Amino acid sequence: MKRPRLLASTSLLAGAFLAVAATLPASAQDAPPPVVSTVIVKEAPFTLTARLPGRIKASTIAEVRPQVSGIISERLFEEGRAVTKGEPLYKIEDDTYSAAVAAAKASVEEAEANYELAVREAERAEELFATRAGSAQKRDSAVAARSAANAGLQMAKAKLQSAEIDLDRTTITAPISGIIGLSQATTGSLVGAQQTGALTTIRAIDTVYVDVTQSANDLLDRAADLKNNKESLSGHATLLLPNGVTYPETGELRAAEPQVEPTTGW
């Protein structure tokens, strides 16, 4: 009894399919199969781009301080302009230092005279000892006096060099090239070699650094990518100024410091 019922059901379905097919237009029945496009997947490098806030800093900052004590007699630069390395900035009164140089030169001349005399006496003592006209004690004493005179001469020359260095330092020069700031000392100010306050500050801006901040989560993700893919921390950076203008020069990513602000997570 079940088999005739199954055959009857199959016949009904076949009839229904023929009826639906008969109602379709001829264009739908003759339509070509759809066109399917294919794409070949290839491995290629991908550049990660992030927009981060940053602050521009000078590449080099030098605080100008005196290396000798004295009273500033003259300021030799114009505030806010460019200066070059070695350019005079301040002049300290140098009368005392010039006198020290003169005294050191006199000491050198005296030491040279003493050394020349000691050399002659040592040579005479050695000659007398060689002819047995002098004793070994006199010879040894003369040789020792010659060595002491030579040491005194070298010490006098060193003091002269030190005095000349101090005299040169009465002219305070720029340690680097850059833009000089406001002067914190005026003519007549007393300055010292060990003072903590700077006379002025020079900033080199031919090359600048931009310190950017990144969230701790992004930094951790970036560190994971570097570890898994064995990438290096490198890339180029474009600077977008506060007025919306893009700076024409591009920069390089040099280094990252793993320092997180505890209150913000940046």
User: Are residues 73 and 186 both part of a single domain?
Assistant: yes
Count of beta carbons in the 10 Å neighbourhood of residue 62: 19
Per-residue pLDDT averaged across 1-27, rounded? 47
User: Are residues 198 and 221 both part of a single domain?
Assistant: no
Closest CA to 75 of 62, 85, 88, 86: 88
Q: Which residue has the higher pLDDT, 131 or 224?
A: 131
Percent of the chain predicted with pLDDT > 70: 76
CA 169 – CA 177 distance, rounded (Å) = 18
Q: Is the pLDDT confidence value at 2 over 50?
A: no
Closest CA to 256 of 266, 247, 246: 266
Residue 79 near residue 181 (C-beta atoms within 8 A): yes
What per-residue confidence (pLDDT) applies to 265? 57
Which CATH number is 202's domain given? 2.40.50.100
Q: Which residue has the higher pLDDT, 15 or 39?
A: 39
Closest CA to 58 of 82, 29, 94: 82
Q: Residue 143 corresponds to which tokens in the numbers above?
A: 């040789």
- 78 inside domain: yes
Q: Which residue has the higher pLDDT, 128 or 180?
A: 180
Q: Residue 226 corresponds to which tokens in the numbers above?
A: 């570097």
Residue 178 near residue 202 (C-beta atoms within 8 A): yes
What per-residue confidence (pLDDT) applies to 62? 96
Give the number of domains in the chain: 3
User: Are residues 88 and 189 both part of a single domain?
Assistant: yes
Residue 77 near residue 89 (C-beta atoms within 8 A): yes
User: Are residues 100 and 158 both part of a single domain?
Assistant: yes
Those residues with Cβ within 8 angstroms of residue 79's Cβ, 6 or more apart along the chain or in another chain: 180, 181, 182, 183, 200
CA 228 – CA 220 distance, rounded (Å) = 12
Per-residue pLDDT averaged across 83-94, rounded? 96
- 24 inside domain: no
Contacts 24+ apart (CB under 8 A), 38-45: none
Q: Is the pTM of this model over 0.85?
A: no
Q: Is the pLDDT confidence value at 231 over 70?
A: no
- Domain encompassing residue 223: 213-252
User: Are residues 89 and 180 both part of a single domain?
Assistant: yes
Those residues with Cβ within 8 angstroms of residue 44's Cβ, 6 or more apart along the chain or in another chain: none
Mean pLDDT for all residues in the chain = 83
Highest mean predicted confidence (pLDDT) among 22-36, 145-159, 206-220, 246-260: 145-159
Q: Per residue in 179-229, pLDDT tens?
A: 999 999 999 999 999 899 999 999 999 888 888 887 767 666 666 665 665
Strands (E), 93-240: 171-173, 178-180, 190-191, 200-212, 236-240
